[in-house]
Amino acid sequence: MATATPTLAEVIFPEQANHNFSRILGDLKRSNLSITNRLRSIQHDASFVESVADALQLPLIANERCGSWYIDPARKTASAYFKSTDGHTGQWKFSTRRINLHLLGVAGEHNGCIIVDSTRRGKRHPDALSKTIPTWCAVLNRALFPDIPSSHTLHVPPNAVSDSEASQISARLPDFVESFRSLKIDLAPLRAQLKKPLRPFWITQDDALDLAFSEDFHPVVCCTSSRRVTGTELGEGGYIQGAGDDTENWALGLTAQIWWKHKDELVSTPESDLPELIERLVAEEGPAGDSAGQVRRVAPGIYVGTLEAADAQLATPGTCVVSLPPKTTPQDSWVKSPSHIEVGLGKSKAASRLLRDALPRICEFASRFLCETKPDEEGTVPEKRFVILCGSGKDLSVGVALALYCWCFDAEGNIRSASDQRESFTKTAIRVKLGHIMNTVPDANPGRATLQSVNSYLMDWRK
């Protein structure tokens, strides 16, 4: 008896079956992208990074935000801030906000360094390593070694950047050099840190650990920690490429510092128990880590730090404290004393945007503090300084420090008169002072929204 030909309805999945199939695929993907798999993937990639450091005998630099997840703190020499967005096609940029000049001393002392980053599925290198850092090397070589034209060439990984794109970036290098020079940074001390120019190299888990370096350059090894996954993660046995990226979407507050301190406990804990464990560890460790209670000088008379430093700084004579807690508070409650203003702007980008409207109050408060000349009990007037504190000590506080540096002090660091404070600030003048701050505190990381608020206030204060 002949078998009946199946009908169209029998061949094609009914609608309910399609919904179930999509749900099953979604569940599988979420299961594969579990916190456990992410942490084990990070652990796997960190082992590769360690093997690179052992083979090349060079210091490890973490390109933040995610580089620190892959480097044992005991072997981490410094952090860098090279953004992939500065290397996106058609948007190439030499950032005067993230100039990373502190790496010159590391490369000069150790004859090179390894900068560690990762990238998500499908890419061989993150744009930060394949284009942003090569651009940085070429710009600094041109500025610091004008007499060595062989060092002025842009070097990019041929398997990641096309000849056409490399040519377009190279055409912009002269403008990038001028942008760097416009910061008016003294180049002599920078040149003294380096014996020879910089040259980028690249290494991934697919490459052999036998890079050959020229004696004419300090090697800047761009290490992509994550293994390249060309398909979906479902066939990778739980491995996730770039597992340390986008921590705000999966880490539940876990940081690289906490991860390295408790990694054995974290990777051995069942997935269902991880949220509770992470919540406990984050609460025990606190958000500030080793920087709690410390302040750092970013400009003459101006310091930044975390909120934990407030009590100690309030007790210091001649100190004006600007606190920026992660909560919103009404303006009429901000002024706590003649030397303390607590400006509650909330968190993240919302706080950065609200900073624009808060800066007039902050700058006026700071100006009044500078004008007061009350002597202490011994009849002397203490030297005055500003301490600006926020949750991280790297974003909002740096933005306010930049505003006060421009508003209260002239180019020579002298206190401005009341009339002088009303001068027209230019974007170039602001950028120069930001460059000085970033050169002094390399790990400062003011967000774009924070700096936009500062620029908007300083250049449009009349409105």
What are the CA-CA distances from residue 13 to residues 5, 8, 17, 19, 27 (Å)? 16, 9, 6, 10, 19
Query: Tens digit of pLDDT for each residue in 197-230?
Result: 999 999 999 888 888 898 999 999 999 999 988 7
Strand order, beta sheet including 295-299: 295-299, 302-306, 385-390, 319-324, 340-342, 335-337
* pLDDT for residue 142: 97
CA distance 178 to 185: 12
Say whether pLDDT at 379 is over 70: no
Question: Rounded CA gap, 145 and 104, in Å?
Answer: 13
pLDDT bin (cut points 50, 70, 90) of residue 315 is confident
Q: When comparing pLDDT for 444 and 190, which is higher?
A: 190
Q: Cite the DSSP H helix spans in 286-395.
A: 310-314, 348-371
Mean pLDDT over 123-148 rounds to 95
pLDDT higher than threshold 60 for residue 391? yes
Least confident stretch, 2-11, 293-302, 408-417: 2-11
Q: What mean pLDDT comes out for the span 98-121?
A: 92
What CATH code would you report for 289-373+380-459? 3.90.190.10
Q: Distance between CA 457 and CA 451 in Å, rounded?
A: 10
**Would you state the structure tokens that stand for residue 357, as one six-digit string?**
């409207």
- Residue identified by tokens 């401005």 is 416
pLDDT at 196: 96
- Per-residue pLDDT, averaged over 160-176, amounts to 95
pLDDT tens string 48-89: 999 999 999 999 999 988 899 999 999 999 999 999 989 898
| Integer Cα distance of 103 and 113 in angstroms | 8
pLDDT at position 447 = 87
* Predicted local confidence at residue 288, as pLDDT: 47
Predicted local distance difference test score (pLDDT) of residue 176? 96
Residue 28: per-residue pLDDT: 42
Lowest mean pLDDT among 258-267, 352-361, 427-436: 427-436
Residue 423 confidence (pLDDT):
60
Q: At residue 202, what is the residue type? A: W
Task: Give me 337's structure tokens.
Answer: 């004393």
pLDDT of residue 372: 74
pLDDT value for 426: 84
Q: How far apart are CA 402 and CA 203, in angstroms?
A: 38
DSSP element (H, E) containing 15:
helix 15-32
- Which pLDDT belongs to residue 413? 66
Which letter does DSSP use for residue 3 in this model? P
Domain spans, the chain: 35-250, 289-373+380-459
Q: What is the mean pLDDT of the chain?
A: 86
pLDDT band at 408 (very low <50, low <70, confident <90, very high): confident
> What are the C-alpha distances in Å from 419 to residues 91, 317, 367, 457?
40, 27, 11, 17
Assess whether the previous peptide bond of 65 is cis (omega < 30° from 0).
yes
Report the chain's terminal Cα–Cα distance, integer Å.
90
In the chain, count H helices and then E strands. Answer: 15, 11
Is residue 27 over pLDDT 50?
no
Q: Which two tokens stand for residue 433?
A: 């002072």
Mean pLDDT of 147-158: 94
- From 155-164, 262-271, 307-316, the region with the lowest mean pLDDT: 307-316
Query: How many CB atoms are closer than 10 A to CB 75?
Result: 12
List 222's β-bridge partners, or say none: 115, 202
Model pTM? 0.80
The percent of residues in the chain predicted with pLDDT above 70, rounded, is 84
Instruction: Give the pLDDT of residue 242.
Output: 87
Q: Which residues contact 319 (CB under 8 A, 6 or more apart)?
A: 313, 339, 384, 385, 386, 387
